[in-house]
Amino acid sequence: MKRIVIFASGSGSNAENIIKYFQTSKDAEVTHVLSNNKHAKVFDRCEHLNIEASLFDKESFTKEDTVLNFLQVEADIIVLAGFLRKIPSKIIEAFPNKIINIHPALLPKYGGKGMYGMNVHKAVKNNNDTETGITIHYVNENYDEGTIIFQAKTTLNSEDTPESIAKKVQLLEYKHFPRVIETVILKNG
């Protein structure tokens, strides 16, 4: 049974979706959620779902080895679900091709520092794009530049707002993210 540790910074809707998906899996389970935001709603979701969740600070993530040591004991694969911090290189090196992120656009478009959530959807709208989607990719040392694992698209029209674009993208996230994580786990044994 592979152990999944999720990093989340916000509401945790993707984390909850992933946790529920793997509750009946024979191959993997979510064992822990880590967050850098003490106000993150993901803590409430984890309590409701009976999943351990822990808060960590910047020092234990970037300068000390506290988070790295925890992951080396507790994780086979790491999933970023709305996590906004850059992953330190020491963690990337310890988990090569075992850290998966989801981005709310079709990379390489609308990627990089500061491009997350509504910032992405506003950029898509401002550029009058006719489609957008999700990109699931491995994490490397640069924001949103890791090898792409999977993309899914949705069509847009002129009436779409950043909010309606966000809803369309979220549906793709819920549908595909857990399945792609499972595929990666099965492929990598």
The tokens of 125 are what?
């709208």
103 is catalytic: yes
Q: Per-domain residue ranges for the chain?
A: 2-188
pTM: 0.95
Active-site pick, 103, 121, 137, 176:
103
Residue that the structure tokens 């080396």 belong to = 72
Q: Dump pLDDT digits (tens) for 129-169.
A: 999 999 999 999 999 999 999 999 999 999 999 999 999 99
Do 61 and 83 form a contact (C-beta atoms < 8 A)?
no
Distance CA 149, CA 117 (A): 20
Give CATH superfamily name and number for 2-188: Formyl transferase, N-terminal domain (3.40.50.170)
For 79-127, how does the pLDDT look when each residue is reduced to its tens digit (9 = 90+)? 999 998 999 999 999 999 999 999 999 999 999 989 999 999 999 999 9
